[in-house]
């Protein structure tokens, strides 16, 4: 939460569209990083739980295998005591070197080791010599029977065979006559075997080689014996235990068998109870795992909803700020346009008023000038007549020279009166000129 608040404080403020897009991209990258961290944590947790489950399963399997092996050994011991013949048959069927897989040949004894020597006793040797003598006699008789044929008969038979039976004799006579003749099996006498002369040193070397071969063969046989003994150490111990059990009374054997069966039943019961407890534990763990996965899924949904809400809030706040800025800009533009319009109207009205006042003043001045000319013409004529004599002129001159201040005051008074008339006329003209504008642009002049 602290890092989240720090990240939110470092986000750029929303002043325009570019800052809004930058803020949204930064928030999206932060969300992706958070999701990546969360997925890595979930993967690590899942791998750790999988390793724990696998190690527990392997441990259970090893324990089960040990239990099954112990039970099998106990079963072997019990069955060998109860029915030894049956167990011997089972052992022979399981052993690849037994007579069940490699039976003895009917032609004689074939040892397992090809280099082993045959132990022939004296009566057997005499029987073997008698058999050889009979075979030689039989071969001599067969040879004598084969030698009874003649050479002319053989030549006649070969001629008949080569002619292809084209002679005038019938086939029956030829068959009868050819029965007397047969081909002689001529054998060549084999070469008489000779014994090579061997020097005493070479003979000693050969004897030493034979002796070395026998020693090596004996060592090899001994190693095979030790290897077989090591491989069948359990069977040897079992046989020794079986021999020792023969000395034990039947009642003790029966009690021992009953005890073994009872122990086996107890072990089976304990294994079943342990299996039930383990199954219940695994069931609870599976339920807890499903619960945790559901909670994680709900947490992920809540985080997604929270992220969507924050994104919407950020977008709405950015949109609102942009709208407020746009509204303020439009208000400022409208204000400036209205001020320009007001200035234009004021200048226009001022121009109209100035032109109207000048025109009305000019007309009033012309009218008053005409009226004054008409009124003052008679007065001027009378004054000229009155002040035309010299005494009046002198008196005026003296008065003008003596009393200039009074004249000045009179003149100022007259000017004020005249200006007052002109101002009244101008106000009247302005009021008349503004009356139609007031009816047309009433709201602007209020």
What 8-state DSSP symbol labels residue 445? G
Q: Burial level of 337, CB count in 10 A (0-12/13-18/19+)?
A: exposed
Is the torsion defined by CA of 404, 406, 407, 412 positive or negative? positive
CA nearest to 156, candidates 186, 185, 178: 178
What was the pLDDT predicted at 311? 87
CA nearest to 250, candidates 88, 84, 81, 87: 81
∠372-377-382 over CA atoms, to 5°?
130
What CA–CA distance (Å, rounded) separates 76 from 236? 13
∠361-362-364 over CA atoms, to 5°?
65
One pLDDT digit (tens) per residue for the chain, 446 residues: 667 677 677 777 766 777 777 777 888 888 888 888 888 888 888 888 888 989 998 999 899 899 988 888 888 788 778 777 777 777 777 776 676 666 665 555 555 555 555 555 555 667 777 777 887 777 777 777 776 654 444 444 444 444 444 444 444 444 444 444 455 566 677 777 776 776 777 888 888 888 888 888 888 888 888 888 888 888 888 888 777 777 777 777 778 778 888 888 888 888 888 888 888 888 888 889 889 888 988 988 888 888 888 888 888 888 888 888 888 889 898 988 888 888 888 888 888 888 888 888 888 888 877 877 777 677 766 766 766 666 766 677 666 666 666 677 778 888 888 878 777 777 777 777 767 665 655 544 44
Phi/psi of residue 13, nearest 5 degrees: -70, 155
SS (H, E, C) 9-24: HHCCCCCCHHHHHHHH
What CA–CA distance (Å, rounded) separates 27 from 21? 10
What was the pLDDT predicted at 310? 87
What was the pLDDT predicted at 115? 54
The reported pTM is: 0.24
What CA–CA distance (Å, rounded) separates 214 from 205? 14
């Amino acid at each position: 939460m602290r890092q989240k608040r720090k990240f939110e404080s470092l986000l750029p403020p929303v002043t325009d569209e570019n800052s809004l897009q930058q803020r949204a991209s930064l928030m999206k990258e932060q969300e992706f990083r958070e999701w990546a961290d969360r997925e890595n944590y979930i993967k690590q947790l899942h791998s750790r739980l999988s390793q724990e489950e696998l190690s527990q399963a392997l441990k259970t399997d090893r324990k089960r295998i040990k239990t099954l092996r112990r039970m099998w050994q106990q079963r072997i011991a019990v069955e060998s005591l109860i029915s030894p013949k049956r167990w011997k048959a089972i052992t022979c069927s399981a052993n690849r070197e037994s007579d069940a897989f490699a039976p003895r040949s009917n032609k004689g004894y074939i040892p397992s080791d090809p280099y082993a020597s045959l132990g022939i006793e004296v009566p057997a040797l005499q029987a073997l010599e008698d058999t050889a003598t009979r075979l030689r006699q039989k071969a001599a008789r067969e040879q004598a029977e084969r030698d009874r044929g003649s050479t002319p008969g053989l030549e006649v038979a070969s001629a008949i065979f080569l002619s292809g039976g084209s002679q005038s004799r019938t086939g029956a006579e030829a068959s009868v006559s050819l029965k007397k003749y047969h081909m002689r099996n001529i054998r060549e006498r084999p070469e008489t075997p000779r014994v090579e002369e061997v020097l005493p040193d070479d003979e000693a070397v050969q004897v030493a080689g034979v002796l070395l071969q026998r020693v090596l063969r004996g060592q090899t046989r001994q190693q095979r014996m030790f290897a077989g003994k090591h491989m069948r150490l359990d069977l040897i111990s079992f046989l020794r235990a079986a021999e020792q059990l023969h000395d034990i009374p039947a009642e003790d054997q029966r009690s021992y068998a009953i005890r073994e069966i009872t122990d086996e039943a107890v072990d089976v019961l304990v294994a079943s109870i342990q299996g039930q407890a383990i199954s219940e534990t695994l069931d609870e763990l599976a339920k807890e795992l499903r619960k945790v996965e559901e909670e994680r899924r709900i947490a992920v949904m809540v985080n997604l909803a929270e992220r969507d809400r924050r994104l919407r809030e950020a977008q709405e706040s950015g949109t609102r700020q942009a709208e407020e800025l746009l509204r303020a800009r439009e208000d400022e533009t409208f204000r400036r346009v209205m001020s320009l319009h007001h200035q234009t109207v004021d200048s226009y009205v001022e121009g109209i008023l100035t032109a109207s006042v000048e025109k009305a003043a000019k007309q009033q001045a012309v009218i008053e000038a005409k009226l004054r000319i008409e009124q003052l013409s008679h007065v001027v004529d009378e004054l000229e007549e009155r002040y035309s004599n010299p005494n009046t002129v002198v008196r005026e001159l003296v008065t003008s020279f003596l009393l200039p201040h009074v004249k000045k005051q009179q003149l100022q008074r007259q000017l004020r009166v005249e200006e007052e008339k002109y101002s009244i006329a101008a106000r009247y003209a302005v009021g008349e000129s503004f009356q139609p504008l007031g009816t047309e642009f009433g709201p602007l002049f209020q």
